[in-house]
Structure 1
Amino acid sequence: MDFHWFLPTNGDSRDIVGGGHGVPVGAAGGVRPLTIGYLGQIARSAEQLGFVGALTPTGAWCEDAWITTAMLSEVTERLKFLVAFRPGLISPTLAAQMSSSFQRLSGGRLLLNVVTGGESKEQRQFGDFLDKDARYARTAEFLGIVQALFRGETVDFVGEHLQVEGARLTKVPDPAPEIYFGGSSQAAGPVAAAHADVYLTWGEPPDSVKQKLEWIRQLKPDMRFGIRLHVISRDTSEAAWREADRLLQNVDESAIAAVQAGLRKSESEGQRRMLDLHGGNRDGLVVAPNLWAGVGLVRGGAGTALVGSHTEVADRIQEYAELGISEFILSGYPHLEEAYWFGEGVLPELARRGVWRHPAGGNAAATTAIPFAGVPTAAPSPS
């Protein structure tokens, strides 16, 4: 199994930071201003702790993922960048050229997270006026062109939404960046099956995740799977749940109501499924063992967190892995601190069980996270 962290390119906080699907940044607490120095700390710590990559979001509410990760590639050595982007907002030939340049100049560290776009209101800000089903159809055309260019082909294509003539790359990426793709609506499945290397799902309870994976396997039996979750891991279960409670203690009911009202307007099937987990209130936020839906009260998109001791979190990760999840894309508030707790608590426990190995191999023991205030620099003991 592989682990990826998250780069908070819309700002960070000790509280839950809003963003995505119409939620304003800072909907739940003060936001730490974004700097390349701080993102560099997170990226370097993630790399040293054993994460293989880092996801960046895309949208009007955050910094541009291409530019930000290109800058961060200079302050890291091994870490890959899972760059989120929307096919409808860029030419497929230009996207292929940018990918090729990034892959070559970073030493093969680009992964592509293709986001079709679930909110028409936000898409229109960028000049995209297609409806949801049409956006999925355009994404299929887009990826077909891009992947043909990655193979070194000269592409002539006339589709319903896109058209290119004599498109080619002077230099093809080697290797071609892998395609990560998520979507819970029926229109998403065939696109994923035709073009994705990794299908992504948000952190629903295991039974729901199992059903979704079975749906995609019927379309593409050899698909790889990833899951997007937040995480709160501590030396003891009690300490982890205290931290989960703290994240919501300063959030009043009016703020939750405002965020939920905005999220209910979302066209995203995945967002609807996230909302169904908690119903917009604080009661019943534990939706499966160690799976807490509190994040989704004040944040759009991924709204659940694994909460517990390092051993408990490792147990839940193994449970998802047994369903077929091989890639875990994680985050936490603040991102520098939670990367430390997971990297120094859960990853050693998974290594002890023989189900995970540090990407640096034998050099892993020599790596240490960059120290920061408020967290001990010695590794916490797994409970």
Structure 2
Amino acid sequence: MKILWFIPTHGDSRYLGTSKGARVADHAYFKQIAVAADSLGYEGVLIPTGRSCEDSWIVAASLVDATRRLKFLVALRPGLVQPAQSARMAATLDRLSGGRLLVNLVTGGDAEELAGDGQFLDHAARYEESAEFIRIWREILARSHDGGSFYYEGRHLRVKGARLLYPPLQRPYPPVFFGGSSDAAHALAAEQVDTYLTWGEPPAAVAAKVADVRQRAARHGRSLGFGIRLHVIVRETEDEAWRAAAELVSELDDETIAAAQARYAQMDSVGQRRMAELHRGRFNRADIRDGLEIAPNLWAGVGLVRGGAGTALVGNPQQVAERIQEYAALGLDTFVLSGYPHLEEAHRFAELVFPLLPLATREGLAAPAVTGPFGEIVANSYAPRAAQR
């Protein structure tokens, strides 16, 4: 099982939908989170993309020297950059980071944002372009290890003698992640990507998506990994966790929720529509679980005002670990998590839930290079007693 965290390059806060408790989205804060994730044993960090975010490639490059093992899941955006240039960027970052690059293919679902970036293709055409993009990207990188060139002519993209002189460290190329809920997305995932990511839908819905993508991949003679994108709100007790969830949305007003939902409804993303259907804009301030706890410990309240990943696992450490294991039993091995605020929640989740999960990264942390007592020394003399799990 691999657990990744999140760098909030679009901003962070203790409360959703308000500037109260907000934090400046600057490099110093991104670095704090990256260093925390690295030292705590997270597999990597997702760096988001879009006009609301700092550029994911530059942010990742800026954090390489601040970290040792941490991997960076960075966005590929077809239509915004040519695949050959993107392949060079990927090879360079993979080399400079010592093979710590992961890439996230993003087709986009906000027509207004895409138009601002010069992308005017409709949903179907974007997926056609994305399929051509990632095929070219993969071939250029794969052939770079033996000096080969690549020729391709498609409906949207073409290259003639594309070549890369400095290959990536990872062979044949850095792993490709991709998420999408439409038929076209499932087809693309089955044919070309390494890990398919779903947003945090209830287990039955996730199981159906995994089964569909797996069957499609088998028809191509392929197998791929599966992962999920979720928020987490974990506390020592279940009551504390639900109180924390209530506090997170305590500053929301109906106008902000309505405006956000109207905006998301304009998008052509099937995944975004499925997220909205989980809550339908309902918000009972007296009972935040009413209509929003869509499966045991799975809460859709984040999606009231946040696009994309809109669900959170809420509960005590044992409950959250059990829910994660339920998803793992469906075939998921990668969990891309986040929580508000991201620095504190990275520590809290690692300290409370990591010991309950089968994580290979914990083996490296079990025998740290620096030895000695762990925890604050008691009365200037006594080492803290070992925690009982």
TM-score by length of 1: 0.91
Distance in 1 between residues matched to 2:105 and 2:204, nearest whole Å? 26
- Residues 350 and 356, structure 1, Cα contact 8 Å, conserved in 2: no
| Change over 3 Å in CA distance of 1:188–1:140 after alignment to 2 | same
Aligned residues of 1:149 and 1:172 also touching (Cα < 8 A)? no
What residue number does 1:212 align with? 209
Contact 1:224–1:326 (CA under 8 A) maintained in structure 2 = yes
Partner residue of 2:99 out of 89, 108, 116: 108
Q: State the 1:211 CA deviation.
A: 0.5
Query: Which of 19, 31, 41 is the aligned partner of 1:40?
Result: 31
Aligned residue in 1 for 2:251: 250
Question: Is contact 1:141-1:162 (8 Å) kept?
Answer: yes
1:340 is aligned to 347
Residue number in structure 2 paired with 1:146: 137
Higher-Rg structure is 2
CA distance 1:134–1:307, change in 2 (3 Å): same
2:162 corresponds to which of 160, 164, 167: 167
**For residues 299 and 4 of structure 1, do their structure 2 counterparts lie closer, same or farther at Cα, with a shift above 3 Å needed?**
same
Q: Which runs of 5+ in 1 are unaligned?
A: 17-25, 372-377
Contact 1:290/1:312 (8 A) holds in 2: yes
Paired letter, 1:121: E
Q: Distance in 1 between matches of 2:194 and 2:385?
A: 35
1:53 aligns with 2:60: no
Aligned 1:1-383 pairs, distance under 5 A:
1-16=1-16, 29=20, 31-152=22-143, 153-175=148-170, 176-221=173-218, 222-282=223-283, 283-351=290-358, 357-358=361-362, 360-363=364-367
Deviation at 1:85, TM superposition (A): 2.9
Please tell me whether the aligned partners of residues 235 and 381 of structure 1 are also in contact (alpha carbons under 8 angstroms): no
1:356 deviates by: 5.4
Q: Which whole-Å deviations, capped at 9, do the CAs of 1:77-126 have from their partners, x for residues lacking one? A: 11000002311100100000000000001100100001011122111101
Q: Distance in 2 between matches of 1:257 and 1:382?
A: 46
In the aligned structure 2, how far is the partner of 1:215 from the partner of 1:45? 36
Query: In the aligned structure 2, how far is the partner of 1:382 from the partner of 1:69?
Result: 37
Question: CA–CA distance in 2 between the matches of 1:281 and 1:382?
Answer: 41
Q: Secondary structure at the match of 1:287?
A: strand
Q: Is the 8 A contact 2:15 2:250 kept in 1?
A: no
Q: Tell me, what secondary structure is at the counterpart of 2:232?
A: strand
Q: Tell me how far 1:357 sits from its aligned partner.
A: 4.8
Partner of 1:23: none
RMSD: 2.3
CA, structure 1 residues 255+381, in 2 after alignment: closer, same or farther (shift >3 Å)?
A: farther
Amino acid at match of 1:38: Y
Q: What amino acid is the match of 1:34?
A: A
- For residues 279 and 14 of structure 2, what CA distance do their matches in structure 1 show? 22
Structure 2 letter corresponding to 1:300: G
The residue aligned with 1:374 is none
Amino acid at match of 2:12: D
The whole-number CA distance in structure 1 between the counterparts of 2:189 and 2:370 is 39
What code does the residue aligned with 2:14 have? R
Give the AA of the match of 1:358.
R
Task: Return the offset for 1:72.
Answer: 0.7
For 1:241, the aligned partner's letter is W
Figure out how many residues of one structure are paired with residues of the other and give that number. Answer: 365
Q: Distance in 2 between matches of 1:253 and 1:28?
A: 16
Identical-pair percentage: 51
- Counterparts of 1:379 and 1:284, CA distance in 2: 43
SS of 1:151 mapped into structure 2: helix
CA gap of 1:157–1:360, structure 2 versus 1, over 3 A, is same
Q: Equivalent residue of 1:235, what SS?
A: coil
- Counterpart CA distance in 2 for 1:359 and 1:204 is 31
Deviates more, 1:280-289 or 1:205-214: 280-289
For 2:317, give the aligned amino acid: H
Q: Distance in 2 between matches of 1:59 and 1:163?
A: 25
